[in-house]
Structure 1
C-alpha cells in the first residue's frame, strides 16, 4: 500500500496577524457600544462594517472599516504624540466609490494600541497619508461621538446631529421667507431667451427677476412699471394672491416658483452679491479691486464682524496679491409644510483680484474648509441672515450709498432647536498642516 504525503497548507504570519487584528478591533468596537460585522474573505479594501448603537439598539448607521495590523515596530514618523500611515492607491480608488464613511483602524499587538482616522475625499487634495494623533485618535469610548457623527451627512436640509453626546442648542440652516402678498401674472408671446433679447434691444437696463412658462409671465413686480413691459401683454396683467401659485401641489409649478424666488433674490441683492454659474454659489462683491470688505453685525450673543472679502498677499512677491477670498453660499429654495425657505450652505469663493475667478479654487477651498469647526459654520449661517437682511451693527456702512432695488423677499432668522445631543467639532475634520505657496493656502494632510 502506498501513501501519498501531501504538503501541509501553510498559514502565513501576515494572514494570522490579519485575523488577530480583526478580532482585536471587533472586540474594541463592541467595548465602546458599537456592533462590528466582518466581511468575507473576498473583501477588497473593506474589512468590516461598524454600526452605531444607542443604548444597545441598532441604528442602521454604518461605517466602513479597513484594518491595518502589525505585531510590533514603529509606525512611519512615529513620535510620542503622533505618526502617519501611507494609504494604498488601489484602496483609495476603491473607497472613493463608497456610499459610506470610510475609516482606517491601525492595530499594534505589542502595545495593544488602536487608532483610527477617516479617509477624506475632497476636491483639490489627494490624501494618501493619514496623520494619527495619539491623544485624540484612540479607538475607545472617547471617540464614540466623532464616529457617530461620521454617519450623518453635513450637507442637506437643516442641521445634522450625531446620536451620542451631551446636548446643545442647534440652528437650522434654513431661513424662512416672507413672501409678498401678491404676484403679477401676464400673458406673453416670448420665451425666456427671446424675452431677454427684446429687453436688450430696448436700450433700457434688463432685469431678470421673472419667469416665463407656457406663455405665462410671473413676477413680484408690476411689469407695466418696469422694462419688463416690453415682454408682456400689458392689457393682460393681473395681480393675484401669491399663495395660489406659491403653494401649488404640482412639483413642476413648485420648481418654477423656486426659480422665481432665486431670480428675485439675485435681483434684490445685485449690489452686494455676485453669482458664480460654475460653482452655482452667491458670493460677496468687493468694494474695489483687491480691497478687503468688513461686515459688522450682531451675532447670537455679541456684536462681531467678518471680513466677507479678504485679501491675502503673496509671500513671494512683495506687493502682489496672492488671492482674494469671498464669503459665499450655495442657495436652495425649498417648500416644506406650507412655508418657503432659503437653505444656506456656507462656503467660499476665490478670485485673483476680487473679480476674476481664481484658476485653482478647489485647492484653496479644501484648505479653508478644514480650518472650520461647528461653531464657525453656525456663525456663518447667522452672519448670512444678517447680511441678507442688511442688518449691520455700526462699524463701516456696508450698504452706504447702495440701497439697491426694492426688497421683495424678506427673511426671518434661522430656527433654533434644543437638541438632546451635541455636535462634536471633530466632525468637521481636524486642523491640517497648512502650507502657503506664493500666498496661496493649501491644506495638506500629513
Structure 2
C-alpha cells in the first residue's frame, strides 16, 4: 500500500504555518510543489491598502521539526546546521532567500535572510544559522523586516506603502543669544595674541570674542575692564545682534558662527571639556572616582546614565584600567528658516587615564559606531538635549549664562512613517542599551596593549 510518511506530515504542517503568517501580513504565498531543489515557496509583496502587487518576490526555504530540543538551544537562541551545497544554492541566485524554521513543539517560527546572514565569510565557514528567539520571530510583526529585505534586492525596488502617523525627533536644538554685540579696534592682530594679553589681565575672563583685522567683535561690553585695557574703548561701537545673525553676508555669518562656538565652550563649563582634535565636548572624569552618572529627563521620565566609565584591564597590570570612555557630542550651528540651531551629533571620547587621549580611541569609536543602534543614538541625543536646556540657568549663587541658551523643539508630526521593524531589522543588536556594549568591550580590549 502507498504511504505518506511522518516527515511529509511534519513538512506540510510547517508549510501551512508559514503560509498562515504570510497571508496574515497581507502578502501572497505560492508553494512550489512537486520537484524542487531547496526552495519551497515564494512570497509576493502586496499593498494591503490598494491590493496592488509589484512583482517583488522572496524565495522561501521552509524547515519544520517536532524535536524537544534543537541544536545549540538556549533560552534566547538556537542553531540550524547547513550544508555547503545548500549555502551555495541559497546565495548564488538573483532573488533573496528566507530560511523559515517552524518549531512545531511550541507552534512558533523563526526567519533569516540567508544572503544577509552568509555575507560574513566566517558564518559560511561555520555552516550554521543562529536564530534569535525574539528578534527573528516569524510572526505578522516581521512584516516590516520582510519588506526591507525585498526592497533592498534591487535598485529602485518598492515595497508596500507605509501609512502610519509618526513623530520625528530632530537633532536640532534652537539657540537664543544676547541681543547686543560690541566692536572696537585693538593693537592685537590675532586671537592668540589677544587671548594671551587677556589672560595676563584676568585668567577668568570669558572667551566670547573674536579678533578680525585688528578689531574685536564680542558679546562682552568692550568699554568695561579688562576689555578696555586691550581695546580702543572710545572707538567702541554697539550693534544689534541681528546685524550679524540675520545677515546674508558670508563673512558676517562666519564671524557670528565663530562667536557662537566660543560661547558654547563657556556655556558648557565646568561640566564638559573640549577635545582639541575633534572639537567634541565630553564629560570629564571626577578626580575622586572612576565613574560618573548623569541624571536627566528622558522622553518619558527622569533617568540616570553612566557618562564616564572605566573599562578593561591592562595585561601587564590588571589593577590598572585599560581606558575610560566618556559620553560626548559634536555640534554645528546652522541657520534654517531664519532660526539658528545647534545640530547635535552624539559620540564618545576615550582617554587612557581619564584625562589624556587614548591612543586607540579612534579604533574604539569605530567599533562602537559599527554596533550602535538607532535607539542608542536617540537616547544619547535626548540626554544632551536635556543638558543644553538645563545648563546655564543659574541658581541662588550664580546668575544665568547671559550670552547663549537653548530651547526645546516640538516633535515633527508626519502622516507617513517607517515602522520600527525596518530599523531593527538592520540592527546587529536592537536590544543593546547605549554605552553598555558588552560586545564592544570584548572586541576592542586587545588594542589596549
Task: Tell me the TM-score normalized by structure 2.
Answer: 0.61
Q: Distance in 2 between matches of 1:150 and 1:183?
A: 52
Contact 2:78-2:130 at 8 Å conserved across structures:
no
Could you say which residue in structure 2 is the equivalent of 1:299?
A: 298
State the SS of the aligned residue for 2:277: coil
Q: Quick one: distance in 1 between partners of 2:284 and 2:261?
A: 18
**Compared with structure 1, are the counterparts of its residues 363 and 233 closer, same or farther at alpha carbon in structure 2 (3 Å cutoff)?**
same
Kindly provide the CA deviation profile for residues 264-318 of structure 1, in whole angstroms up to 9, marking residues without a partner as x: 1102222111111222211112221652111112222211111121222528554
- Structure 2 unaligned segments of length 5 or more: list them: 1-38, 55-71, 83-93, 102-111, 154-159, 430-436
Q: 1:241/1:283 Cα in 2 relative to 1: closer, same or farther (>3 Å)?
A: same
Alignment-derived partner of residue 406 in structure 1: 401
Q: Deviations over 1:352-371 (max 9, x none)?
A: 22101111113322343355
CA contact (8 A) 1:150 1:427 kept: no
- Distance in 2 separating the partners of 1:223 and 1:324: 41
Whose helix proportion is higher, 1 or 2?
2
Name the structure 2 match of 1:335: 335
1:421 aligned onto 2:420: no
Cα RMSD for the two superposed structures: 5.0
Counterpart Cα distance in 2 of 1:163 and 1:193:
57
Structure-2 residue corresponding to 1:180? 178
Aligned counterparts of 2:343 and 2:445: Cα–Cα separation in 1 = 30
Aligned CA distance change for structure 1 residues 327 and 204 (closer, same or farther; 3 Å)? closer
**Alpha-carbon contact 2:145-2:425 (below 8 Å) kept:** no
Long gaps (5+) in structure 1: 1-23, 35-53, 59-76, 85-103, 121-126, 152-161, 393-398
The alignment partner of 2:290 has SS state of: coil
1:169 aligned onto 2:167: yes
How far 1:201 sits from its partner (Å)? 4.7
- TM (norm. structure 1) is 0.62
Residue 252 of structure 2 aligns with which residue? Answer: 253
Residue 319 of structure 1 aligns to a residue whose secondary structure is coil
Alignment of 1:13-32 (within 5 A): 31-32=44-45
Shift of 1:411: 0.5
Take 2:152 and 2:358, find their aligned partners in 1: how far apart are those partners?
Answer: 31
Per the alignment, residue 439 of structure 2 pairs with: 434
Within a 5 Å distance, the mapping from 1:258-273 to structure 2 comes to: 258-273=257-272
Give yes or no for contact 1:81–1:133 (8 Å, CA) kept in 2: yes
Q: 1:100 matched to which residue of 2?
A: none
Match of 2:221 in 1: 222
Pairing 1:60-209 to 2, within 5 Å after superposition: 81=79, 115-117=114-116, 129=122, 142-143=144-145, 146=148, 164=162, 166-189=164-187, 190-202=189-201, 204-205=203-204, 207-209=206-208
2:352 is the alignment partner of 1:352: yes
**Greater RCO (Cα-Cα under 8 Å, separation 6 or more):** 1
Secondary structure at the aligned position of 2:354 is classed as coil
Q: Count residues with an aligned counterpart.
A: 347
